[in-house]
Structure 1
């Protein structure tokens, strides 16, 4: 059951951050590189058959930053991938990328990538906890890092990777009914996925799936 107040997703910033600290940890989730471990969360939440496809893909460890900005009404920082990129051009994403061997942990990956992609300074970011490991159809195993971000920052976009950065109210992303299950034809097959529409922004796929997991973990 969801808490009654979660139907409107009206947690204050202080309440949200307190719940994250209470319910999550910064202990790296199991199975980031283990081929014998199948993550419970992933693209297969919306399309169960995708789990079998993902299991035969090479494992690609990655981490993303769910940057929750500590405004009176908290927001989440998102990016739109550059249109010229070969993979997922124009898609709405969290800052993030592959885990390098030199990264101390997934949080370090997410902080590094956020600074490289949008110029978000590490000293403004407080990592709070990891959500569940998320497996994509292409074999990525993504560690989502929820973090508190000081407001008032200035961003510098890496235009080789990002066209736009913008903020969306956390209450909108977490509100009951805004998350929907959509479908589209892909290579002659109907594929299902989760999505939200915020004005002209269509937030779908992995990004929406991770937000759905955040709602379950923090608002349930």
Structure 2
């Protein structure tokens, strides 16, 4: 079975389960906030051992400088939907042609404290595309083995005091890189949807 079909079947099977409440959105959110639509592309390379494409944000950015992220951003008014927004952003940030992405589907929206309602778009791409970072936004891009990124054993749950309450976040360390915050939370949710973690029925 093709990788895209395997991922699609696993994602569909995982839709019947419920995420833990404290992993369904940014734990810093208190009450209702206004959210702007956003989308990220979770691009999986079609290899015998699939990889996951991630970016390192430019150190010059005003928000989340230097952090590890998925290609993505705000969904613009001219985007037809979140999928179109994720594909456009990936093309702008790492020169990934939308025609090279086989969209598998979307999974758990992730509302953030910074005011975005992020829709992760799962897609499969050919390996070894000539991707290049758009320097204004992206310092670099890299590929991490998908199995490593989704393995619960590689995900560390941390706690921090924020606004008088204890909040948690996840960290994943890959070589010299720290994957954490929203990116790690989305990976944790994908891991559960694809059956790497147990979910409550």
Q: Under a length normalisation based on structure 2, what TM-score does the superposition of the two structures give?
A: 0.85
Who is 2:7 aligned against? 20
Pick which of 79-88 and 180-189 moved more: 180-189
Secondary structure in structure 2 of the residue aligned to 1:219: coil
Distance 2:23 2:58 in 1: 30
Secondary structure in structure 2 of the residue aligned to 1:116: helix
**Structure-to-structure mapping, 1:202-217, within 5 angstroms:** 202-217=178-193
In structure 2, the CA distance between the partners of 1:91 and 1:185, relative to structure 1 (3 Å rule), is: farther
1:219 to 189, 195, 200: 195
Q: Does 1:62 align with 2:38?
A: yes
2:30 to 35, 52, 75: 52
**What are structure 1's unaligned runs of at least 5 residues?**
1-13, 26-37, 45-49
Who is 1:112 aligned against? 88
Give the superposition deviation at 1:83: 0.1
Distance 1:39 1:121 in 2: 35
Q: Does 1:146 align with 2:122?
A: yes
Distance 2:157 2:2 in 1: 28
Secondary structure in structure 2 of the residue aligned to 1:177: helix
Q: Under a length normalisation based on structure 1, what TM-score does the superposition of the two structures give?
A: 0.78
Distance 2:114 2:92 in 1: 24
Contact 2:54 2:142 in 1 (8 A): yes
Aligned residues: 188
In structure 2, the CA distance between the partners of 1:41 and 1:188, relative to structure 1 (3 Å rule), is: closer
Cα deviations by residue, 1:8-49 (Å, 9 ceiling, x for unpaired)? xxxxxx575334322547xxxxxxxxxxxx9971122xxxxx
Give the superposition deviation at 1:190: 5.8
Who is 2:101 aligned against? 125
In structure 2, the CA distance between the partners of 1:104 and 1:87, relative to structure 1 (3 Å rule), is: same
Who is 1:3 aligned against? none
Who is 1:43 aligned against? 26
Who is 1:94 aligned against? 70
Q: Does 1:181 align with 2:157?
A: yes
